[in-house]
Amino acid sequence: MESKATTIARILLGFIFFFFGLNGYLHFLPQPPMAGPAAQFMGGLAASGYFFPLLMATELVAGIALLARRFVPLGLVALAPVIVNIVAFHLFLAPAGFPLAILVFALGTFLVWSYRSAFRPLLKARHDSAALASEPANRVKAA
């Protein structure tokens, strides 16, 4: 059972990514003009032709996962590199958006901590391959 703080953080982060992911396709929020290195960086990503549709789809799907409380750890894993790049972009290229970047980072970090038990197996230095190979068989016998 989720705590109230975890529920609020999950819904807020899910809404942020759902909203901005949807905006990437429907363009209901005007994009403020950028200049200098920030504009060059965004122009390079846009010139690739695939990056922004992929990014918006990732944000949209992960946002829906968080809002629906389905596959939350997977959604957080998908959003981790997005959040790191949002923070880096605003830290180094466009400081005006840094407060929202910090909010997104804080929400993401809090949710990863809240769901830390789901990530524990990923953080093992070594895995016993024999135990992993026999694991599905153990589940079948138990059922």
What is the enclosing helix (H) or strand (E) of 141?
helix 129-142
**Extents of the domains making up the chain:** 4-142
Residues 6+ apart with CB under 8 A from 38: 89, 93, 94
Tell me whether residue 62 is exposed, middle or buried, using C-beta atoms within 10 angstroms of its C-beta: 0 to 12, 13 to 18, 19 or more. Answer: buried
pLDDT tens profile 69-120:
999 999 999 999 999 999 999 999 999 999 999 999 999 999 999 999 999 9
pLDDT tens profile 47-75:
999 999 999 999 999 999 999 999 999 99
Q: Where are the alpha helices (DSSP H) in 27-128?
A: 36-47, 51-68, 72-92, 98-114, 116-119
pLDDT tens profile 5-56:
999 999 999 999 999 999 999 999 998 889 999 999 999 999 999 999 999 9
Q: What is the pTM of this model?
A: 0.85
Going by pLDDT thresholds of 50, 70 and 90, the confidence category of residue 139 is low
At residue 28's C-alpha, the angle toward residues 57 and 46, to 5°, is: 50
